[in-house]
């Protein structure tokens, strides 16, 4: 049996994958673009002078003929995307801006127009950076990108605290900050879930039909497709989990906006006032069941311990406190059976990202963070072990 060279999918192979998995239009678009781009050269960090010139030309087209970019500096880290600070100068005005741009490939392949639209819709609902402009097809900078406003704040306190690793996962918080941050953290999540998305400009999103399993299966199909595209080798736990998730997909009666990466490390706060200043990383947001977000918050890998060693959800509060405050703030009563399903689904996603997408981006030299990608691949195999235990608990293994 001939093995597919996943660095060089043919047009026919790409077409076959697209036909096999039913996903949202723009999800199909970005995954297809990933495979087409992968066939090209190894990814190289953009030269800052060239990127500054192209960024200035973009700002002149979007903002005003006299606008230009200055002081472009790379932001360290950024597991998913390349991030830069720059000054946008327009006449006598100088404003700090952030450029968020695709590398060759990253931890998760996502669509900048989706991210731009959902963050723009969230303005005034929860704290988010101001959305300035988006280059969805990469025509301006060579890779798809967006520009947003700068928001002050930190993702991890400067005070001594345990926890915090790759991409902010497992970040802990000083005891005096936990209560105020926890209240805002939950209340903002409830506000996202209460948001009336049907009246918002979210044209890049497909809306699943309420009372069906579309919300789950579209999402599951995208992760199964990612596995097929990115995995270096087959794994029986992934195969079994995908089959179990498809066979047990719950009906979604109440379709709502979900952030899909809501956790510690993905919000900024003022270290002195304990005020959350921005909710970040909306790139995986979609329309689905709120239990997907709740289960993500509850993932044990995002937890950190209190001073007595007890686990705190996202480093902030015990599990029961999170669920109780969420119910009070949202008016939605979490369903234990749905939570259990989405806890397995989310572990499946993380296992796919960890053991397939991370390793593939590094192996095919498509990432600006090869060391981090290889390190987090090891964490992916830890997640596989958890996934096996969860399936065993359901009698599926």
**pLDDT value at 347 more than 80:** yes
Query: The domain 166-393: what is its CATH number?
Result: 3.90.1200.10
> Residues in the chain, how many?
397
Residue 269 phi/psi, 5° resolution?
A: -150, 160
Using an 8 Å Cβ cutoff, are 291 and 335 in contact? yes
**pLDDT value at 21 more than 80:** yes
Predicted local distance difference test score (pLDDT) of residue 318: 97
Q: What share of the chain is helix, strand, coil (3-state, %, to 5)?
A: 45, 15, 40
> Confidence band (pLDDT; 50, 70, 90) for 378?
confident
> How many other C-beta atoms can be found within 10 angstroms of the C-beta atom of residue 154?
12
Residue extents of the structural domains in the chain? 166-393
**pLDDT value at 79 more than 80:** no
Distance in angstroms between the alpha carbons of the first and the last residue of the chain: 28
Kindly tell me the burial class for residue 356, based on how many C-beta atoms sit within 10 Å of its own C-beta (0-12, 13-18, 19 or more): buried
User: For residue range 234-262, what is the model confidence (pLDDT) as tens digits?
Assistant: 999 999 999 999 999 999 999 999 999 99
**How high does pLDDT run on average in the chain?**
93
**pLDDT value at 1 more than 50:** no
User: For residue range 147-203, what is the model confidence (pLDDT) as tens digits?
Assistant: 999 999 999 999 877 654 545 567 899 999 999 999 999 999 999 999 999 999 999
**pLDDT value at 394 more than 60:** yes
Q: Percent of the chain having pLDDT more than 70?
A: 94
Using an 8 Å Cβ cutoff, are 176 and 310 in contact? no
User: For residue range 308-336, what is the model confidence (pLDDT) as tens digits?
Assistant: 899 999 999 999 999 999 999 999 999 99
For 277, residues 6+ apart whose C-beta sits below 8 A from its C-beta are: 127, 151, 152, 153, 268, 269, 270
Q: What is the mean pLDDT of residues 290-299?
A: 98
> Confidence band (pLDDT; 50, 70, 90) for 372?
low
pTM (predicted TM-score): 0.94
Q: What is the mean pLDDT of residues 38-57?
A: 94
Using an 8 Å Cβ cutoff, are 171 and 304 in contact? yes
What is the rounded distance in angstroms from the CA atom of residue 62 to the CA atom of residue 140? 11
What is the rounded distance in angstroms from the CA atom of residue 368 to the CA atom of residue 120? 28
User: For residue range 118-128, what is the model confidence (pLDDT) as tens digits?
Assistant: 999 999 999 99
> How many other C-beta atoms can be found within 10 angstroms of the C-beta atom of residue 207?
14
What is the rounded distance in angstroms from the CA atom of residue 12 to the CA atom of residue 362? 25
Predicted local distance difference test score (pLDDT) of residue 379: 77
The b-or-e profile of 164-189 (16+ CB within 10 A means b, else e) is bebbbbbbbbeeebbebbbbbbbbbb
Predicted local distance difference test score (pLDDT) of residue 239: 97
């Amino acid at each position: 049996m001939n093995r597919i060279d996943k660095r060089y999918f043919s047009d026919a192979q790409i077409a076959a994958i697209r036909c096999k998995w039913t996903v949202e239009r723009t999800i199909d678009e970005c995954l297809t673009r990933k495979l087409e781009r992968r066939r090209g050269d190894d990814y190289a960090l953009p030269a800052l002078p060239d990127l500054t010139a192209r960024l200035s030309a973009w700002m002149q087209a979007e903002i005003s003929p006299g606008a230009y970019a200055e002081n472009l500096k790379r932001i360290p880290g950024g597991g998913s995307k390349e991030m830069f600070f720059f000054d946008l100068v327009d006449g006598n005005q100088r404003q700090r801006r952030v450029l968020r741009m695709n590398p060759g490939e990253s931890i998760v392949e996502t669509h900048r127009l989706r991210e731009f639209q959902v963050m723009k819709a969230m303005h005034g609902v929860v704290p988010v950076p101001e959305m300035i402009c988006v280059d969805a097809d990469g025509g301006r900078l060579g890779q798809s990108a967006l520009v947003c406003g700068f928001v002050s704040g930190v993702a991890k306190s400067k005070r001594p605290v345990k926890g915090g690793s790759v991409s902010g996962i497992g970040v802990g918080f000083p005891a005096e900050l936990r209560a105020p941050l926890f209240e805002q953290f939950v209340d903002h999540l409830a506000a996202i879930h209460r948001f009336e998305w049907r009246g918002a400009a979210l044209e890049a999103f497909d809306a699943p039909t309420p009372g069906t399993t579309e919300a789950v299966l579209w999402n599951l199909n995208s992760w199964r497709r990612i596995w097929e595209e990115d995995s270096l080798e087959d794994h029986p736990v992934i195969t079994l989990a995908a089959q179990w998730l498809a066979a047990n997909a719950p009906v979604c009666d109440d379709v709502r906006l979900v952030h899909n990466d809501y956790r510690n490390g993905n919000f900024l706060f003022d270290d002195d006032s304990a005020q959350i200043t921005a909710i970040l990383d909306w790139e995986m947001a979609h329309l689905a069941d709120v239990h997907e977000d709740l289960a993500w918050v509850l993932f044990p890998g995002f937890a950190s311990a209190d001073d007595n060693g007890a686990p705190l959800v996202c480093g902030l509060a015990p599990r029961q406190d999170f669920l109780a405050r969420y119910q009070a703030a949202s008016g939605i009563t979490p369903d234990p059976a749905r939570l259990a399903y989405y806890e397995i689904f989310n572990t499946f996603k993380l296992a796919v990202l960890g053991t397939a997408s991370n390793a593939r981006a590094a192996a095919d030299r498509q990432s600006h963070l090869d060391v981090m990608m290889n390190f987090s691949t090891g964490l992916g195999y830890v997640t596989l072990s958890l996934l096996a235990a969860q399936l065993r608990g359901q009698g599926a293994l």
